[in-house]
């Protein structure tokens, strides 16, 4: 029998930074999915997902851009507000887009406050380690919980030279470990580990007191996150670490074809679907 338990087993309570810290201590696995609108937020909330991230992956999966770099703070706030309306239990994390914190801590705290005040986020996430330490400290000092994000950080795509696995080799691994420790030291309540070797994610998870949430980081993180379009099979291409749990893309395409056929043949709408 498996000894792995889940935080979502305790479904009646709202997820908080305190309950997530407890989950780490108890070895309960944490679940996080992205969402960008009310409908999917409500579905995932009812399904017992612990954290809903309004990710800046919005740029890729909703806006059709090649990178997350063009996403604006106003766009993030708009989508965060839509998602907030669908949640009763899950904790809402708003992603800080490129340009909303890189200038410095004052800009960072202003952006984070907007995500909370206008978007309804309960926490914010930002990418980076040692380089964003003052930003994390400043946002935490404003009483806003911060989730870190180290390893493959998509906003650094141009520095990395593509979306490449990070932390390979001794030097690379040491850099990611330093980043994760810095994020914790700065006061973050959790840290996403993206695109790093499983053994490195396992070591970081053991060394950190705060929960790690993995994506392309192997099985030993305290929790796992997926982009909802990958989970549901809505993308034409998915990276190899993604497990597709449904094929909604095929279902939607089939429904659209059936609709077109019935409209074209005059079968829809019939009497049952018309007002008398």
Residues that bind ligand KIV (CB under 6 A): 34, 53, 55-57, 95, 149, 192, 194, 215, 225, 227
| Nearest to ligand KIV of 124, 215 (CB atom) | 215
CB of 75 to ligand KIV, least distance (A): 13
Q: Residue 64 to residues 53, 56, 57, 73, 199: CA-CA distances in angstroms? A: 18, 12, 10, 17, 33
Of 75, 194, 261, 262, which one is the catalytic site residue? 194
| Nearest to ligand KIV of 144, 226 (CB atom) | 226
Residue 63 corresponds to which tokens in the numbers above? 């806006």
| Nearest to ligand KIV of 56, 222 (CB atom) | 56
CB of 192 to ligand KIV, least distance (A): 5
- Decide: helix, strand or coil at residue 146: strand
| Nearest to ligand KIV of 216, 273 (CB atom) | 216
Residue 151 pairs in a beta bridge with: 194
CB of 262 to ligand KIV, least distance (A): 37
194 belongs to the catalytic site: yes
CB of 230 to ligand KIV, least distance (A): 9
CB of 201 to ligand KIV, least distance (A): 13
Residue 80 corresponds to which tokens in the numbers above? 């965060």
Give me the residue label for tokens 């851009």. 65
CB of 256 to ligand KIV, least distance (A): 26
Nearest residue to ligand KIV on Cβ basis: 55
Residues recorded for the chain: 276
Contact in structure between 23 and 222 (CB atoms under 8 Å): yes
Residue 167 corresponds to which tokens in the numbers above? 């932390």
Cα dihedral 169, 204, 155, 240 in deg (nearest 10):
70
| Nearest to ligand KIV of 74, 261 (CB atom) | 74
| Nearest to ligand KIV of 69, 261 (CB atom) | 69
Angle, helix 169-185 to helix 198-207, in steps of 10 degrees: 30
Q: Residue 42 to residues 64, 124, 226, 271: CA-CA distances in angstroms? A: 23, 20, 17, 33
In whole angstroms, give the CA distance from residue 190 to residue 223.
10
CA 104, 105, 106: angle at the middle one, nearest 5?
95
Residues with a catalytic annotation lie at: 194
């Amino acid at each position: 029998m498996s000894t792995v338990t889940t935080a979502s087993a305790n479904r009646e309570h709202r997820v908080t930074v305190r309950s997530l810290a407890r989950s780490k201590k108890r070895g309960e696995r944490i679940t996080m999915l992205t969402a960008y609108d009310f409908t999917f937020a409500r579905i995932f909330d009812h399904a017992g997902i612990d954290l809903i991230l309004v990710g800046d992956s919005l740029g890729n999966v909703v806006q059709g851009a090649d990178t997350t770099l063009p996403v604006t703070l106003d766009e993030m706030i708009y989508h965060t507000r839509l998602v907030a309306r669908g949640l009763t239990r899950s904790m809402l994390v708003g992603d800080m887009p490129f340009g909303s914190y890189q200038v410095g801590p004052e800009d960072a705290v202003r952006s984070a406050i907007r995500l909370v005040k206008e978007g309804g986020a309960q926490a914010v996430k930002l990418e980076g380690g040692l380089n964003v330490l003052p930003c994390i400290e400043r946002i935490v000092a404003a009483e806003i919980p911060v989730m870190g994000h180290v390893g493959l950080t998509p906003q650094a795509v141009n520095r990395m030279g593509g979306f490449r696995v990070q932390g390979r080799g001794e030097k690379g691994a040491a850099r990611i470990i330093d980043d994760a420790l810095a994020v914790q030291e700065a006061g973050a309540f959790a840290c996403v580990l993206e695109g790093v070797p499983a053994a490195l994610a396992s070591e970081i998870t053991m060394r950190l007191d705060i929960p790690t949430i993995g994506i392309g980081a192997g099985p030993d993180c305290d929790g796992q996150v997926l982009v909802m379009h990958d989970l549901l099979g809505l993308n034409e291409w998915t990276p190899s670490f993604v497990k597709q749990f449904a094929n909604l893309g095929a279902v939607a395409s089939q429904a659209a074809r059936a609709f077109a056929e019935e409209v074209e043949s005059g079968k829809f709408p019939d009497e049952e679907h018309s007002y008398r």
